[in-house]
Chain A
Amino acid sequence: MTPFVKMTALAAPIPGRNLDTDQIIPARFLKFDRSGGYGQFLFHDLRFTPEGQERPEFILNREPYRHAKVLVTEENFGCGSSREGAVYALCDHGVRGVIGPSFGDIFYNNALKNGLVPVRLPEDIVASLRETLMATPGAEVEIDLEARIVRLPDGSSHELEIDPFWRECIMKGLDEIELTWSYMEDIRRFEDAYLKDIPWINR
């Protein structure tokens, strides 16, 4: 995981309530190995026509938004399927942060594991940010994980709520499994007692 401490980057508003992971990456691309990169599949059917031409109306096909590293979404972004491919597609496309009022639960967890920073802000603030980004193309947003602050183009600052555990993992580019290994004794002790209670699950 690439560490993320803070970043100021161009942001693009992505329209759609309940924009599900099937829209972020259609199922037919999930067969592919990550080695070929998943960025090409991001929002595939929203970005491209069936003939493979860019759809000019889609925001990430327009200047300057196509260079956005932060996406600003509507409520329940990333709902639906658990496919981590949705997060791979965003990361491989160069997106490092997603700001929205709420996210699909599994998507949110997948984002944390890949160093994609999900930022939950109140709905009215996100709505006004989306309007600002449409009105002033090229506007930038700062995500400061260290200070736990998001700075918006209108100069306002907002607290970035993120679990300190995941914040530390992302800032250090750490995988939480390293921490888990340090608890192996606790895990074994728990398991020995637990499996005596329900031995049938381990047959």
Chain B
Amino acid sequence: MANLPHSAAPRTMFDKVWDRHVIVARDEGPSLIYIDRDIIHEGSFHAFADMKRRGYSVRRPRQMFGTPDHYVPTTGREIGDAATAEIARMIRQFDENMDWGGIRSFRLRDPRQGIVHVVGPEQGITLPGLTIVCSDSHTSTHGALGAIAFGIGQSENMHVMATQTLWQARPKTMRISVSGTLARGVHAKDVILAIIGKIGAGGAGGHAIEYAGPAVRAMSIEQRLTICNMSIEAAARCGMVAPDDTTFQYLHGRPFAPSGEEWDRAVAQWRALPTDDGARFDTEVALEGHAIAPMVTWGTSPEDTAPITGHVPDPAGAPDAGRRESTAKALNYMGLTPGTPLADVAIDRVFIGSCTNSRLEDLRAAAEVLRGRKAVVPAMVVPGSTSVKRAAEAEGLDRVFREAGFEWRESGCSMCAAMNGDFVKPQERCASTSNRNFIGRQGPNARTHLMSPAMAAAAAVTGRLTDVRRLLN
């Protein structure tokens, strides 16, 4: 890039993007960094209320985008389809705030509407080298294209809308390398669950992660989005994958991506972003790709993972008293007995969706398992965006899901966040492609097992946690 500070020392991709955005560097403490994009959803209402109270306006509305996702109905596209009057008010309030701020938005009935983290990449709003924020923790998703992207609270959201900047302390860097190739039936979701299981829910605290290695390099953008999405579940500030030809092919021709002569300029800049040879990371983690099996969670933290071939753990085997207690508590909530083979655990419901796993490739992977089979438990698919929904319908995936007994819904966060009226009932056990198995996350006393879309489809047809490799030809 034209104004890059030239430095002899090799730099990581994170350093290059960060350095490019520093407006005011202070000797101690946070730097003032430039924020390229802020993506808005209904939950941003506190920030708008604060802006109005202080008499501020949105400084650069052209760099903002909005779409409603957390509260939108999945049963229809009318405001009247909202589950309650209060939920309908959230969607109306979002529209009013977008009008007030002059912010481009893809509203409930817009064919571009969807989950913020699906829409950004899909529309070419997310680009390599950018700084992107959104008042949602899964903003780490966008790093899959080589951006620094992280979730913020409403105070920070207000600060970005008013100034296009944020005060941020520079995180440490961590490289997670996944070697080799993944076995058949093993997907990006299994890789990220294996990573979180290995380093823990606090394992990347204070770090920006770069995912690297042949297994990551071989992934499509949609798979990389799944990996980066769950960086926050390991406490990372953000997750990134270096942009490459796969990235450029994905972005070319997308509505908000540069085009024509600007495209060539952009690609030339993006090619300079990957980490230099010899750059040092504060922490290095390595996994063998071929050794990763399809994964499921058994507890109430995303670190509570095991291969589907494993068993419900025994709290007695935990390394310390704290973990013994937390494991016992988690198993009690989940209604599981230590030592039970995971493949014997019966489930009550299946949810395929969320910003982690609701893109076209996710739906294809689930449909591949479901073709010619029937779900034996209630199951639903919530595409990540209206565009994903239409693309899936164009290739007949909706028919595969419907014939298998799945409900085929409109796009939104739905049963992952359980804020729009879609939720898992108390004590129900849900095989879910979402990102959090927290207590009460999918509804009060709901029990969540996280897994890939292919694994969720396998669970739907057998009624229990199932090794999807058994169902593949």
B-binding residues in A (CB < 8 A): 16-18, 20, 22-23, 26-28, 30-31, 33-34, 45, 50, 74-76, 79-84, 87, 102, 104-106, 109-110, 113-114, 163-166, 176-177, 179-181, 183-184, 186-187, 190-191, 193-194, 197-203
Contact of B28 with A194 in the complex, beta carbons under 8 Å: no
Contact of A30 with B419 in the complex, beta carbons under 8 Å: yes
Q: Chain B nearest CB: distance from A95 CB in Å?
A: 17
Closest to B93 in A: A31
How many chain B residues touch the partner (CB < 8 A)? 76
A-binding residues in B (CB < 8 A): 1-3, 20, 23-24, 26, 28-30, 32, 34, 36-37, 43, 46, 49, 60, 62-63, 71, 86-87, 89-90, 127, 129-130, 135-137, 139, 150-156, 158-159, 162-165, 167, 169, 201-202, 205-206, 232, 235-237, 256-258, 262, 266, 269, 301, 303, 322-323, 326, 329, 417-419, 436, 438-441, 444
**A–B Cβ pairs within 8 angstroms, 8 of them:** A23-B439, A27-B419, A83-B43, A105-B236, A109-B156, A183-B32, A187-B165, A201-B37
Given contacts A31-B87, A164-B29, contact A80 B303 (CB under 8 A): no
Task: Point out the residues of chain A lying under 8 angstroms from B43, CB to CB.
Answer: 30, 83
| Residue from A82, A113, A163, A181 having most chain B Cβ neighbours under 10 A | A82
Task: Point out the residues of chain A lying under 8 angstroms from B419, CB to CB.
Answer: 27-28, 30-31
Q: Chain A nearest CB: distance from B320 CB in Å?
A: 10
Contact of A79 with B202 in the complex, beta carbons under 8 Å: yes
Complex Cα distance A162/B32, Å?
Answer: 18
Closest to A167 in B: B29
Q: Chain B nearest CB: distance from A83 CB in Å?
A: 7
Q: Chain B nearest CB: distance from A141 CB in Å?
A: 21
Task: Point out the residues of chain A lying under 8 angstroms from B29, CB to CB.
Answer: 163-166
Given contacts A180-B167, A199-B262, A201-B36, contact A45 B235 (CB under 8 A): no
Contact of B269 with A197 in the complex, beta carbons under 8 Å: yes
Closest to A106 in B: B151
Complex Cα distance A77/B354, Å?
Answer: 24
Task: Point out the residues of chain A lying under 8 angstroms from B237, CB to CB.
Answer: 105
Complex Cα distance A34/B139, Å?
Answer: 24
Q: Which of A50, A114, A201 contacts B127 (CB 8 A)?
A: A201
Contact of B165 with A82 in the complex, beta carbons under 8 Å: no
Q: Chain A nearest CB: distance from B174 CB in Å?
A: 13
Question: Contacts A84-B154, A164-B28 given; 12 further ones with Cβ under 8 A?
Answer: A16-B326, A18-B326, A45-B439, A76-B202, A76-B205, A82-B153, A106-B137, A180-B165, A187-B165, A197-B3, A202-B62, A203-B256
Q: Chain A nearest CB: distance from B237 CB in Å?
A: 6
Q: Which of A33, A80, A82, A184 contacts B438 (CB 8 A)?
A: A80
Complex Cα distance A87/B156, Å?
Answer: 13
Task: Point out the residues of chain A lying under 8 angstroms from B26, CB to CB.
Answer: 165
Q: Which of B2, B89, B159, B323 contacts A197 (CB 8 A)?
A: B2
| Residue from B23, B87, B257 having most chain A Cβ neighbours under 10 A | B23
Given contacts A30-B43, A191-B164, contact A105 B156 (CB under 8 A): no
Complex Cα distance A16/B322, Å?
Answer: 9
Closest to B32 in A: A183
Closest to A107 in B: B153
Task: Point out the residues of chain A lying under 8 angstroms from B150, CB to CB.
Answer: 106
Contact of B23 with A200 in the complex, beta carbons under 8 Å: no
Q: Chain A nearest CB: distance from B166 CB in Å?
A: 9
Given contacts A194-B3, A202-B62, contact A82 B235 (CB under 8 A): no
Q: Chain A nearest CB: distance from B55 CB in Å?
A: 12
Q: Which of A105, A114, A184, A203 contacts B155 (CB 8 A)?
A: A114
Contact of A33 with B153 in the complex, beta carbons under 8 Å: no
Contact of A186 with B201 in the complex, beta carbons under 8 Å: no
Q: Which of A18, A26, A165 contacts B301 (CB 8 A)?
A: A18
Complex Cα distance A87/B135, Å?
Answer: 14
Task: Point out the residues of chain B lying under 8 angstroms from A177, CB to CB.
Answer: 158-159, 162-163
Q: Chain A nearest CB: distance from B336 CB in Å?
A: 18
Task: Point out the residues of chain B lying under 8 angstroms from A166, CB to CB.
Answer: 29-30
Q: Chain A nearest CB: distance from B242 CB in Å?
A: 18
Contact of A82 with B136 in the complex, beta carbons under 8 Å: yes
Given contacts A110-B155, A114-B155, A191-B164, contact A198 B266 (CB under 8 A): yes
Task: Point out the residues of chain A lying under 8 angstroms from B71, CB to CB.
Answer: 31
Closest to A17 in B: B326
Contact of B90 with A80 in the complex, beta carbons under 8 Å: no
Contact of B205 with A102 in the complex, beta carbons under 8 Å: yes
The 8 closest A-B pairs by CB, nearest first: A113-B155, A165-B29, A84-B153, A110-B153, A200-B258, A76-B202, A82-B151, A82-B137
Task: Point out the residues of chain A lying under 8 angstroms from B417, CB to CB.
Answer: 27
Task: Point out the residues of chain A lying under 8 angstroms from B329, CB to CB.
Answer: 16
Closest to B417 in A: A27
Task: Point out the residues of chain B lying under 8 angstroms from A190, CB to CB.
Answer: 23, 34
Q: Chain A nearest CB: distance from B52 CB in Å?
A: 12
Q: Which of A16, A87, A179 contacts B153 (CB 8 A)?
A: A87
Contact of A201 with B63 in the complex, beta carbons under 8 Å: yes
Contact of A74 with B152 in the complex, beta carbons under 8 Å: no
Q: Chain A nearest CB: distance from B383 CB in Å?
A: 21
Contact of B3 with A193 in the complex, beta carbons under 8 Å: yes
Task: Point out the residues of chain B lying under 8 angstroms from A198, CB to CB.
Answer: 36, 129, 266, 269
Closest to A32 in B: B86
Complex Cα distance A83/B3, Å?
Answer: 36
Complex Cα distance A164/B49, Å?
Answer: 29
Task: Point out the residues of chain A lying under 8 angstroms from B440, CB to CB.
Answer: 22-23, 26, 45
Given contacts A105-B237, A109-B152, A165-B29, contact A50 B205 (CB under 8 A): no
Task: Point out the residues of chain B lying under 8 angstroms from A74, CB to CB.
Answer: 322
Task: Point out the residues of chain B lying under 8 angstroms from A203, CB to CB.
Answer: 62, 256
Closest to A189 in B: B23
Task: Point out the residues of chain A lying under 8 angstroms from B418, CB to CB.
Answer: 27-28
Complex Cα distance A180/B59, Å?
Answer: 13
Q: Chain B nearest CB: distance from A46 CB in Å?
A: 9
Task: Point out the residues of chain A lying under 8 angstroms from B163, CB to CB.
Answer: 177, 180-181, 184, 187
Q: Which of A23, A45, A110, A163 contacts B30 (CB 8 A)?
A: A163
